[in-house]
Structure 1
């Protein structure tokens, strides 16, 4: 029997960025699941603050060179890769001069939320999916971490909905209490209309703040994991209304095994569909 293939997509991973709840899970989880019985691939953005020399990032020429159109503008996709030898993991990085060259992650020098974080998110999500296609690697499960990945479930199910590469792929979204003040660009819904989303599907993004982005992610996911002990009450309420399969919070001692079993459960539903 072939190993289940899990694609990890995270907005942050240690040691490339400082340790946080998300960056630590996104580092340890793929290793743990790979050691149990899964085949994994790992992706994150190549923020300008990441030290390429220290972490030995290098460009993968055969995967780079594609253009991704966002809001009717072309943006070149650059793919880089680095290894975490102690974990026997390779990490792929999505890069672009317009979106990721800046030296800060999501806020500018004054702490202001970048105005184009919505487009950075779209570029990252689509860049991952296009790269996975080029790799010829078909994921059974995509597990998303952090609000930078909140649009991933929608793009897998809608924009790539007719793509045979992702026809049977299930998406799991981890909900964390890593909210942000303010919101994405109010024109986000209009930008996504270019990619074939309907008014009804985008209605939740009329006010594209953290809570509504999370609701959007939940709407298009096949399963949801509570990555934090406490999450926003509005998100919890919406999650119950959807009736999606949910894995409750697990601490660092138990989450690897619990998540691994949850992937199997979600994948089994794929076989039943």
Structure 2
């Protein structure tokens, strides 16, 4: 992995949010690349329940200030950054007062999904790409973790298809066990279509449930990692029919060599 550039995008990550399969692997996989001499960038949402003072988040003025259009609305993009000192790893946070100020991640105290989760996912995807463009940093691999990051492959392959910075980038999506029940806003497909993305690319978003969001990510990725021991059966079936590299599930305690080899021999070749 020496000198390879890997962009990690995750819905959540330790130590900023509680430990689970996604947040743990979103931390361990960039740490592994970093330890092996790779160059990394990490992006996640700046949810309101992240303690900015404890983790020493601060705004990056030169990267903030642009507006992103989501469903015909201008939404200001704020970029914050923090470091994980013991690993010498820096994390970029995508922030917006309207979408990420509330003191929770994906759902309210009663467990109901926030009604604007679809728009948050669109904003997150666009915010990452626009920020990486400002950094002028061309990744060899873009590795996506978690359902709120599931639109990143779609937007890279369709909305930003002519962006030369990502022309050689390979996209990897990690697929985890089901993360939420129900669906996001049924208008999600129209909000994505507003960005000029062809309907045939997103027809499964007529029913924007967990599996269909991940199918959109998988379809627009160059390789897939099964990151949970059990994933929804329809996603298993979808992955089994793919004509692209797939890495079967490997425990977080044994993943390092397997992921490094997968990157080197399957994703980059």
TM-score bracket relative to the smaller structure: over 0.9
8 Å contact from structure 2 (residues 67, 74) kept in 1: yes
Q: 1: distance between equivalents of 2:33 and 2:136?
A: 21
Tell me, yes or no, if structure 1 residue 70 matches structure 2 residue 63: no
Residue number in structure 2 paired with 1:30? 30
Between the aligned partners of 2:122 and 2:266, the Cα distance in structure 1 is: 25
Paired with 1:139 and 1:178, the residues of 2 have a C-alpha distance of 28
* Aligned residue in 2 for 1:166: 166
1:199 maps onto 2:193 in alignment: no
Secondary structure of 1:79's counterpart equals: strand
1:4 aligned residue: 4
Tell me, yes or no, if the aligned pair for 1:146 and 1:178 is still in contact at 8 Å. Answer: no
Q: Partners of 2:4 and 2:118 in 1: how far apart?
A: 31
Scaled by the length of structure 1, the TM-score of the pair is 0.95
Query: Once the 2 structures are TM-superposed, how far is the Cα of residue 242 of structure 1 from its aligned partner?
Result: 2.4
Q: Distance in 2 between matches of 1:50 and 1:184?
A: 23
Rounded to whole Å, the distance in 2 between the matches of 1:242 and 1:28 is: 26
Deviation string for 1:39-66 (max 9, x for gaps)? 1111110000111111000000000001
Whether the 8 Å contact between 1:41 and 1:91 is mirrored in structure 2 is yes
The Cα shift of 1:266 comes to: 4.2
Distance in 2 of aligned mates of 1:204 and 1:75: 26
> For structure 2, which runs of at least 5 residues remain unmatched after alignment?
none
Deviates more, 1:251-260 or 1:38-47: 251-260
**CA displacement 1:7-55 (0-9 Å, x = unmatched):** 0001111111111111111112211111113111111100001111110
Higher mean alpha-carbon deviation, 257-266 vs 4-13, is at: 257-266
- Which SS does the other structure have where 1:111 is aligned? coil
- Quote how far apart the aligned CAs of 1:265 are: 2.7
How many angstroms apart in 2 are the aligned matches of 1:174 and 1:29? 11
- Distance in structure 2 (CA, Å) of the matches to 1:76 and 1:259: 36
1:31 and 1:88 in contact (8 A); partners too = no
Structure 1 partner of 2:99 = 99
Matches within 5 A, 1:84-95: 84-95=84-95
- 1: distance between equivalents of 2:266 and 2:171? 9
TM-score by length of 2: 0.97
Tell me what 1:157 maps to. 157
Q: Measure how far apart 1:204 and its partner are.
A: 1.3
Aligned mates of 1:28, 1:86 — CA distance in 2: 13
- Residues 61 and 79 of structure 1 are in contact (CA less than 8 Å); yes or no, is this contact kept in structure 2? yes
Confirm or deny: 8 A CA contact 1:222 1:266 kept in the other structure.
no
Residue of structure 1 in register with 2:186 after alignment? 186
- Over 3 Å counting, the alpha-carbon distance change for 1:19 and 1:180 in structure 2 is same
Number of matched pairs = 269
**8 Å Cα contact 2:158/2:197 also seen in 1:** yes
Alpha-carbon distance in 2 for matches of 1:67, 1:260:
37
Give yes or no for contact 2:139–2:166 (8 Å, CA) kept in 1. Answer: yes
Q: CA RMSD in A?
A: 1.3
Q: How far is the alpha carbon of 1:129 from its aligned partner?
A: 0.9
Please name the residue that 1:127 is paired with: 127
